[in-house]
Structure 1
Amino acid sequence: MICESVVPVPFEKDTITACATPPGTSALALIRLSGPGSISIAEKLSGKQLPPRSPLPTHLCLQETILDEVVITAWPKPKSYTGEDLVEMSCHGNPIIVQSILQAICTLGARPARPGEFTERAFLNGRMDLTKAEAVLDVLHARSERALRAGQRALSGQLSDRLMADRETLLQLLARIEAWIDFPEEDIQPEVGAGFLSDIKALLKSTASLLSTAPLGYRLRSGYRLVLAGPPNAGKSSLLNALLGMDRALVSPIPGTTRDTVEESITLAGFPVRLIDTAGLHTSKDPVEIQGMARTRVAMQNADLVLALIDSTHPDDPCAKEWELICHQVITVLTKSDLPSKQARKGVRVSAKTGEGLDTLQSQISQRLTADLGAPGADEIAITTRHEDALRKTTEALACASASLMAKSAPELVASDLRLALHSLESILGVGTSEDVLDRLFAQFCIGK
């Protein structure tokens, strides 16, 4: 703990501080303050009045002790990242200096920020909706270029704009149906019916289209599971090392060297890919090997794609048919192509030793990835699992409203379904979101963001 913890008070009444750059020694570090006391604290430490939105080189001092030479920038509310008075200090990246400045800031009335609290305040102060706050997290944690671009689109407001447009359509539909309910004596039923069903179906199509991006979003965030499987000594660990471009897995001519799964990440076709090396599948009475093979089968069942490795210098393995049938997506790989082959099977011939066939294999993997999840698009948006859950409820409610309308049910039933759809849609933007949901979401952020 850098400074003494204090009893939390409402966010709009206290000042928070944290280092926004990763811990450790570096050329520079960035310290943030946000809240009503941030500018006055910075002015007390610098002894100078801070000009708005203009970097000021100065020294920080506490009780005549110089803490560091810094550059301070102040953003008065409401036009700051958090919507509050915000200060950023660029100091030297020595952890001792960073800690001494944070301690001085806390001495003057600030408290340490919780993970994600700066972005949480931005949301609570209306500087961004919840989708943009989540997009900050996506940009920070992007594991591939494609994931980064999708996160940046959401951060720029593309997802928010689309959801807000659907929300406006829903509000208009509700207004029309409620007018019918509230004023049954008026001749407005034909007006409600005219195009009403087609408007609901168009809205249903829009939300369903957004919902369809859920698998892409999951893969961009968690990675595509690519399992290397096959009999012992088929070259699984060697191929893993070759694909990674480094020696990650232990390679030995002794069968059964790999007893557990070994996992590493690479990027292929713009996707983060989790390469998983596994224990060789064969007939064994060794309890440790049996346990390792059980883990291999589980990994294969959970895989998005399996590379089924066959040693091309040996005839067919009796277990080959079993491990080729365990999962739905398989690429057969004939290893050790630099040696005389005894295999009649068709597959991608590779040599981890010479590099032969690696480009072809990577190309085939990329083709499978693109076939499963599509090529990158200029307006590609990838929703989160939270969005998926809310959109599923939205589409279900809209489908019920459409069915009720076609069945000529009471307008109150249609209105009820539309209200449920609106509530679910608004929850994505953060309207009426519970404090527990917000706490879980912002706890995923690093301190200082």
Structure 2
Amino acid sequence: MTNMDLDTIAAFSTPPGESGLAVLRISGSFAASICDCLFVPSSSRFKKPSDMEGYTLAHGYWGAIDEVVLACFRAPYSYTGEDVYEISCHGGQAIRQAVLDSVLAAGARAAGPGEFSRRAFFNGKMDLTAAEAVMDMIGAQAEKQAQAAYRQLTGGVSRVIHERTDHLYGALARLEMLLDWDEEEERPEDRELLVHELEHSERELRLLADSFAGGRIIREGLAVVIAGSPNVGKSSILNALSGHDRAIVSNIPGTTRDTVEIDLTLNGYLVHLTDTAGLAIDSQDPIEREGIMRAESALRAADLVLWVLSPPLLPEDERRQEETRIERCLEEGKELLLILGKDDLRPSLPAEEDPALYAAERFPDLPTLTWSDRSEDDLQRLREMLVRFIEGGSLNSAEETPSVTRHEQVKSHGEGQSHSMLTHARHKVAVDRAVELVGRARADLQAGLSFDLVAISLKEALTELSTITGEDVSETLIEQIFSRFCIGK
């Protein structure tokens, strides 16, 4: 903690702009005296700020500027762990600025990004996972995002990390005891017991690391890209999923020249949907070429690709190039669903123009979905497949999906799936490193190496896990985390 962390700080917790009310937060040892200088109670039944008890309100006037309500939160039971006062004033820009200026003139300092939460962390009011969850709560656009953030805020991730570290500390304590024995006192069963304990820890940590695949999608949203050749009906799919005509649709190839991006919510999950320009095989149009480059960039960032095949199918040489693009997506590890478009035309198609027959022959292992703009059933099936992919990591039907999904793998370790699900890349990196170090310790034990070497690996694994909650973390990392916060939080 620096000298700046001892200052009394102030900032609006409500966003800028006009509003009915705005809330200014003051935190620090001089918060009460600043409020004493500027706040005048409206009647004798309200105490002056320094005499107010925690979790009480007072009505009055602020520095001849506005009629306000003042809330008092006493240390150590406030958000920051310090004395905190919150001023609820009218939300006009001139009023807001005048109230803030008066507080700064009375001795407070303007708070920086995340400075209130930073103080809460240093004062032991929250760990780093909870602090990160604060910003996730603020930024949540969908119900499942908010639920995952709330569970992390209330200690879901921290509890799991502490369970894992407690198990490792138990193994380390056993190891330290064996280190005090003479070599001739060592028994094979002692080493075997330690190996068994570390195998369990390694397995549990790997399971936690694997949960990030689903946790990241819940926190960040599922990135879905609609791709295919020109004029196959990509924009119609985007419009159907969004529920309104977001993209222009016509029977002229190349109508979509740029990516069209929308956010939507399916069953409480956030989905980032991107419609792309048709991937023409050989275009000399510079605008169309730029659209193709942007489409390919979107494909690289996708979690799931909806590749649309519609009649008439491409000529054979162009079809081979499209197949190459599809195969490249698969080689890059992309999940891909073939949308067999314009299904209402299928009864009149010759076999060589039927997308369903072509897909079955050329890509028999890829999941498919028949699609017609006129079919509400097709739209509902697509929505269900997207939700199934988010929840289970599979596009298959419930009958075909393995009995244990990527989310269900971690449910047994908490009260709900998000309690033990990693949603931040920082946490994933630390757990991955811990898995590696515990695995090394186990292998060294099995190889008969000294207990000293094994202990070093276990201590390093514990250090990695402690960076997640902030128990052992650098000042640089703390600055990086809180610098991403908004001012006033």
| TM-score, normalising length: structure 2 | 0.82
Provide Cα deviations, 1:394-442, integer angstroms capped at 9, x if missing partner: 1111111111111111111011111111111111111231111111111
Question: Which stretch shows the higher mean deviation, 358-367 or 434-443?
Answer: 358-367
Matched, 1:95 2:93: yes
Identity of aligned residues (%): 38
- Where does residue 59 of structure 1 map in the other structure? 60
Residue 444 (structure 1) aligns with: 484
CA distance in 2, matches of 1:142, 1:382: 17
Q: What letter corresponds to residue 28 of structure 1 in structure 2?
A: L
Task: Select between 35-44 and 421-430 the one with higher mean Cα deviation.
Answer: 35-44
Name the Cα RMSD after superposition: 2.6
Which residue in the other structure is 1:14 paired with? Answer: 7
**What is residue 344 of structure 1 aligned with on the other side?**
354
Per the alignment, residue 332 of structure 1 pairs with: 338
Shift of the alpha carbon at 1:84?
0.8
Q: Is the 8 A contact 2:136 2:146 kept in 1?
A: yes
With 217-226 and 70-79 compared, the bigger mean Cα shift is at 217-226
Q: Deviations over 1:96-120 (max 9, x none)?
A: 2111111111111111111111111
Give the partner amino acid of 1:293: I
Give the Cα separation in 2 of the matches to 1:379 and 1:367: 15
Distance in 1 between residues matched to 2:192 and 2:283, nearest whole Å: 71
- Alpha carbons of 1:169 and 1:103: their partners in 2 closer, same or farther (altered >3 Å)? same
CA distance in 2, matches of 1:77, 1:46: 20
Counterparts of 1:184-263 in structure 2, within 5 Å, are 184=182, 187=185, 192-193=190-191, 195-263=193-261
Q: Tell me which residue corresponds to 2:177.
A: 179
Map residues 4-153 of structure 1 onto 2, 5 A cutoff. 10-47=3-40, 48-50=47-49, 51-62=52-63, 66-153=64-151
Where 1:24 maps in the other structure, the secondary structure is coil
Q: CA deviation at 1:49?
A: 1.8
Q: Residue 368 of structure 1 aligns with which residue?
A: 389
1:308 equivalenced with 2:315 (yes/no): no
1:60–1:183 CA distance, 2 compared to 1 (3 A): farther
| Structure 2 spans left out of the alignment, 5+ residues | 41-46, 357-367, 394-404
Give the superposition deviation at 1:337.
Answer: 5.2
| Residues 1:194 and 1:11: Cα distance change in structure 2 (over 3 Å) | farther
Distance change in 2, residues 1:84/1:192 (3 Å): farther
SS in 2 for 1:163: helix
Q: Secondary structure at the match of 1:357?
A: helix
Which is worse superposed, 319-328 or 280-289?
319-328
Q: C-alpha distance in 2, partners of 1:405/1:208? A: 19
Higher helix share: 2
Residue-by-residue CA offset, 1:340-384 (whole Å, 9 max, x unaligned): 864522254444477563222222332333331746752423321
Between the aligned partners of 1:158 and 1:315, the Cα distance in structure 2 is 51
Seen in structure 2, the aligned counterparts of structure 1 residues 190 and 316 have a Cα distance that, compared at 3 Å, is closer
Q: Mean alpha-carbon deviation: is it higher for 241-250 or for 351-360? A: 351-360
The more displaced of 218-227 and 114-123 is: 218-227
CA distance in 2, matches of 1:191, 1:122: 47
Please give the secondary structure, in 2, of the residue aligned with 1:234: coil
Secondary structure (helix, strand or coil) at the match of 2:99 reads helix
Per-residue CA deviation, residues 241-261 of structure 1 (Å, 9 max, x unaligned), is: 222123333344432232222
Q: Aligned residue for 2:402?
A: none
Quick one: structure 1 residues 199 and 339, their matched pair in 2 at CA, closer, same or farther if it must change by over 3 Å? closer
CA distance in 2, matches of 1:354, 1:409: 66
Cα distance change, pair 308–102 in 1 and its aligned pair in 2 (3 A): same
CA distance in 2, matches of 1:404, 1:382: 30
Q: Partner residue of 1:168?
A: 166
Paired residue type of 1:424: E
8 Å contact 2:80–2:120 — kept in the other structure?
yes
Q: Tell me the CA shift for residue 223 of structure 1.
A: 2.3
1:302-324 superposed Cα distances (whole Å, 9 cap, x missing partner): 42222222344x34454353444
Match of 2:290 in 1: 291
> Matched residues in 1 for 2:93 and 2:56: separation?
23
Q: Using a 3 Å threshold, how does the CA distance of structure 1 residues 406 and 375 change in structure 2: closer, same or farther?
A: closer
Question: Structure 2: which amino acid aligns with 1:382?
Answer: M
Measure the CA separation in 2 of the matches of 1:315 and 1:399.
51
Amino acid across the alignment from 2:479: D
Deviation digits for residues 226-252 of structure 1 (CA, Å, limit 9, x no counterpart)? 111122222222322222123333344
CA contact (8 A) 1:297 1:326 kept: no
Q: 1:186 to 1:15 in 2, by over 3 A?
A: farther
Relative to 1, partners in 2 of residues 1:262 and 1:193: Cα closer, same or farther, differing over 3 Å? same
1:410-429, aligned counterparts within 5 Å?
A: 410-429=450-469
Q: TM-score, normalized by length of structure 1?
A: 0.89
Q: 1:82 to 1:191 in 2, by over 3 A?
A: farther
Q: 1:260 to 1:103 in 2, by over 3 A?
A: same
Moved more, 325-334 or 408-417: 325-334
Contact 2:23-2:88 at 8 Å conserved across structures: yes
Consecutive unaligned residues of structure 1, counting only runs of 5 or more, are: 1-7
The equivalent residue for 2:399 is none
Between 94-103 and 175-184, report the one with greater CA deviation.
175-184
CA apart distance, 1:284: 2.2
Distance 1:293 1:83 in 2: 54
Q: By how many angstroms is 1:286 displaced? A: 2.1
CA contact (8 A) 2:467 2:473 kept: yes
Instruction: Classify 1:232/1:194 alpha carbon distance in 2 versus 1 (closer, same or farther; 3 Å).
Output: closer
Deviation at 1:200, TM superposition (A): 1.8
Give secondary structure in 2 for the equivalent of 1:327: helix
Rounded to whole Å, the distance in 2 between the matches of 1:189 and 1:85 is 57
**Counterpart residue identity of residue 60, structure 2:** H
Q: Would the alpha carbon gap of residues 422 and 368 (structure 1) be closer, same or farther in structure 2, given more than 3 Å must change?
A: closer
1:402 to 432, 436, 442: 442
